[in-house]
């Protein structure tokens, strides 16, 4: 019985390396690696050994005879992927990652950030070298997008955080959290105590719509709303009240938009079994949203959500999924085989946008539509969108809640050059470069969204980190890294002097224990502390935490 990779696949390719018959694709180095929704196991060549299940960090791989009804479609996706291609079982030359030769001397690396890219970077360094690694983050708790970006009802995806947490106990890893680079310590401070500095600070600004009324109450960037329901300590409010709206409009049709629709319309008692922030759970219990509209500028064949994510909406208990009836929409669905397979069985219905939503709960997919203006007296009352393809007047959609899910932008890193167009730091294979000369800045590197812009999921950071680490190790082996003046102990004393309430490894472990214990009492995986004060109290091991 072959195995199947399901919706929670993070595509970091940990499974590829352990497969004895090379039946998992696309693999690193193949043209479509990083572009498919998941990796796929060739059902014709899988030998049912189960090695991939042990290697998968998010428990995404399941024997075909144990697939749930909702997950059975993933076996069909694999069959389609291999319908016109060979999985291939030929032996290929192994990839031996770069390592440091004997006698290279000590290596201390500062990693700024604690998200997936930062953890993959630390993982590569700790496993392949004798380097000492210092992780720094402005928040008191690690995790980045794993903690604050993954939807609470995707616990398997969040499971990769447990893999990362194993690194925290490594004897060559130090942590200084609740410490902001540029405020508490400078890049010069990092460089004075480490041979190299790797920035993994992500992309923490929302892209804007650029339409009138965008700043009106009731209009919120999706990343703000997501951070709020995930318990981000810097986002105490969602920016809009879910109890003030019957219809919510999400502008965008990627996976984040789908997450928002699912969270807004899921039964709060089901969400109560997850690690959703208590403040969000209370607000959603009082919420009045009955309809969520996903607004896409282009047609259904160009939608950015993955098939597994949209497929899951069809199985959302008590929620209907429909397509808004517009000129040409039926033809657009039928014209593309993949789209027809995904949306062919979804009802196409006409919606009265001036009226309240009909009884019940539903998600409406509206394509070929761009936002024009948000209108209202003191808060959002309607979103005007461009008319049908026949050139009609703008259509007002009655709504009190608009969430913009059109992507992220990087923000400049203090002391580093920045490409405002790409929203990332200019680099060459991870080495930060001076845009004026094209020459690398000695000992300074980037990884993740800071490096490549806000694209790719969690797993994409593994190979992104490998490229950066190999560049760093090349420079170390070539004696091209500067020699720092101070060491790890001196840096720790500097941090304690500048930031007495910095959180170290023991504090991180104390927070984790307290959240899990609070969750155990409530029948949940964890109950998050959602303010900096609570996190710092828990880090100190206070009985009041």
CATH of the domain at 122: 3.40.50.720
Instruction: Provide the pLDDT for residue 72.
Output: 85
Domain shared by 49 and 132, yes or no: no
Specify whether 394 is located in the same domain as 425: no
Shared domain for 286 and 377, answered yes or no, is yes
Per-residue pLDDT tens over the stretch 22-76? 899 998 888 888 788 889 999 988 999 999 999 998 889 999 988 887 788 889 8
Do 450 and 325 share a domain, yes or no?
no
Return the pLDDT at 90. 58
Q: Is 140 exposed, middle or buried (0-12, 13-18, 19+ CB in 10 A)?
A: buried
- pLDDT at 358 (0 to 100): 94
In a domain, 100, yes or no: no
Q: Judge whether residue 108 has pLDDT over 50.
A: yes
Per-residue pLDDT averaged across 272-290, rounded?
Answer: 95
| pLDDT exceeds 90 at position 80 | no
Is there a single domain that holds both residue 397 and residue 467? Answer: no
pLDDT band at 390 (very low <50, low <70, confident <90, very high): low
In the chain, pLDDT over 70 holds for what percent of residues? 95
Strands 108-112 and 24-25: what pairing?
unpaired
Q: Residue 346 is encoded by which pair of tokens?
A: 């979804």
Nearest to 9 by CA among 34, 32, 45, 43: 34
Query: What's the pLDDT at 393?
Result: 79
**Do 386 and 301 belong together in one domain?**
yes
Is 426 contained in some domain?
A: yes
What's the average model confidence in pLDDT over 142-161? Answer: 93
- What lies within 8 Å, CB to CB, of 352 at 6+ separation is none
Domain-located, residue 255: yes
Residue 312 clears pLDDT 90, i.e. is over it = no
Same domain, 431 and 310: no
pLDDT of 188 above 50: yes
Segment 455-474 shows an average pLDDT of 93
pLDDT-based confidence at residue 545 (cuts at 50, 70, 90): very low
**pLDDT on residue 144:** 95
Q: Residue 515 domain-assigned?
A: no
- Please, which pLDDT band fits residue 93 given cuts at 50, 70 and 90? low
Band of pLDDT at residue 276, cut at 50, 70 and 90: very high
Q: Is residue 545 part of a domain?
A: no
Q: What mean pLDDT is predicted for residues 332-345?
A: 92
Residue 302 has a pLDDT of 93
Whether the Cβ atoms of residue 502 and residue 251 lie closer than 8 Å to each other: no
Residue position matching structure tokens 């950071």: 461
**278 is a domain residue:** yes
Q: Pick the last residue of a domain from 380, 407, 434.
A: 407
pLDDT of residue 507: 97
The number of C-alpha atoms within 13 Å of 181 and in the hemisphere containing its C-beta is 25
- Domain end among 389, 407, 425: 407
CA atoms within 13 A on the CB side of 358: 10
416-439 pLDDT, tens digit per residue, is 999 988 889 999 999 999 999 999
Q: What is the mean pLDDT of the chain?
A: 92
56: in domain:
yes
SS3 357: coil
pLDDT 10s digits, 357-387: 999 999 999 999 999 999 999 999 999 998 6
Q: Say yes or no: 256 and 397 in one domain.
A: yes
**Helix, strand, coil distribution of the chain in percent, nearest 5:** 30, 15, 50
Alpha helix stretches (DSSP H) within 83-221: 116-128, 145-148, 155-158, 160-167, 187-193
pLDDT level of residue 1 (50, 70, 90 thresholds): low
pLDDT at 87: 57
Residues 391 and 285 in one domain: yes
pLDDT interval class at 411 (50, 70, 90): confident
Residue 105 confidence (pLDDT) above 80: no
Statement: residue 279 has pLDDT above 80: yes
pLDDT over 90 (residue 345): yes
How many structural domains comprise the chain?
Answer: 3
Instruction: Specify whether 268 is located in the same domain as 394.
Output: yes
CA angle 58-136-115, nearest 5°?
25
Q: Which residues pair with 40 in a beta bridge?
A: 25
- The CATH number given to whatever domain includes residue 401 is 3.50.50.60
Do 248 and 392 share a domain, yes or no? yes
CB 305 within 8 A of CB 255: yes
Q: Is residue 391 pLDDT above 70, yes or no?
A: no
When pLDDT is averaged across residues 396-405 and rounded to a whole number, the result is 96
Examine residue 534 and state whether it is found in any structural domain, yes or no.
no
> Cis omega (within 30 of 0) on the bond before 98?
no
pLDDT band at 91 (very low <50, low <70, confident <90, very high): low
Q: What is the pLDDT of residue 457?
A: 86
Domain housing 229: 213-407
Q: Given pLDDT bands bounded at 50, 70 and 90, which one contains residue 535?
A: very high
pLDDT for the residue 389: 58
Last residue of a domain, one of 384, 407, 430: 407
Question: Do residues 402 and 439 both lie within one domain?
Answer: no
- 544, pLDDT greater than 50: no
79 has which bridge partners?
A: none
- pLDDT for 71 equals 83
């Amino acid at each position: 019985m072959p195995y199947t990779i399901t919706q929670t696949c993070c595509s970091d390719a940990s499974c590829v390396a352990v497969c004895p018959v090379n039946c998992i694709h696309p693999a690193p180095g193949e043209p479509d690696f990083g572009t498919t929704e998941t990796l796929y196991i060739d059902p014709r060549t899988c030998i049912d050994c189960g090695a991939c299940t042990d290697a998968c960090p998010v428990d995404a791989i399941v024997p075909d005879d144990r697939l749930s009804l909702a997950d059975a479609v993933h076996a069909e996706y694999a069959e389609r992927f291999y319908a016109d291609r060979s999985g291939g079982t030929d032996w290929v030359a192994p990839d031996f990652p770069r390592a440091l030769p004997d006698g290279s001397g000590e290596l201390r690396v500062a990693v700024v950030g604690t998200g997936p890219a930062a953890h993959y970077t630390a993982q590569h360094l700790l496993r392949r070298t004798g380097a000492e690694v210092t992780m720094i983050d402005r928040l008191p708790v690690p995790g980045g997008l794993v903690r604050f970006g993954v939807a609470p009802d995707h616990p398997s995806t969040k499971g990769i955080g447990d893999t990362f947490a194993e690194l925290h106990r490594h004897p060559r890893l130090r942590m200084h959290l609740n410490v902001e680079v540029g405020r508490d310590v400078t890049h010069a401070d990092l460089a004075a105590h480490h041979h190299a500095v790797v920035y993994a600070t992500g992309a923490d600004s929302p892209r804007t719509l650029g339409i009138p009324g965008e700043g009106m109450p009731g209009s919120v960037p999706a990343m703000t709303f997501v951070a709020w329901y995930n318990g981000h300590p810097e986002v105490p409010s969602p920016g809009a009240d879910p109890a003030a709206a019957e219809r919510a409009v999400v502008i965008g049709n990627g996976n984040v938009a789908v997450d928002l629709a699912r969270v807004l319309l899921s039964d709060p008692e089901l969400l109560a079994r997850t690690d959703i922030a208590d403040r969000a759970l209370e607000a959603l219990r009082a919420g009045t949203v009955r309809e969520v509209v996903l607004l896409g500028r282009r047609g259904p064949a160009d939608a950015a959500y993955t098939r597994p994510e949209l497929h899951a909406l069809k199985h959302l208990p008590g929620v209907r999924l429909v397509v808004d009836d517009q000129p040409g929409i039926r033809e657009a669905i039928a014209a593309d085989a993949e789209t027809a397979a995904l949306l062919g069985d979804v009802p196409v219905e006409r919606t009265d946008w001036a009226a309240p939503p009909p009884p019940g709960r539903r998600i409406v997919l509206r394509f070929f539509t761009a936002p024009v203006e948000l209108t209202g007296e003191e808060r959002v009352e309607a979103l005007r969108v461009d008319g049908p393809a026949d050139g009609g007047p703008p259509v007002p959609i009655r709504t009190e809640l608009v969430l913009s899910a059109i992507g992220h932008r990087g923000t400049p890193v203090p002391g580093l050059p920045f490409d405002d167009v790409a929203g990332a730091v200019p680099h060459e294979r991870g080495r930060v470069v001076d845009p004026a000369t094209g020459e690398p800045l000695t000992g300074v590197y980037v990884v993740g969204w800071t490096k490549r812009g806000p694209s790719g999921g969690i797993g994409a950071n593994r190979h992104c980190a490998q490229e950066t680490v190999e560049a760093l190790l090349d420079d170390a082996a070539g004696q091209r890294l500067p020699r720092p003046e101070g060491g790890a102990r001196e840096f720790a004393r500097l941090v304690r002097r500048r930031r007495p309430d910095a959180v170290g490894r023991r504090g991180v472990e104390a927070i984790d224990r307290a959240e899990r214990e609070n969750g155990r009492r409530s029948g949940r995986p964890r109950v998050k502390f959602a303010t900096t004060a609570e996190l710092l109290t828990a880090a100190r091991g206070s009985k009041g935490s």
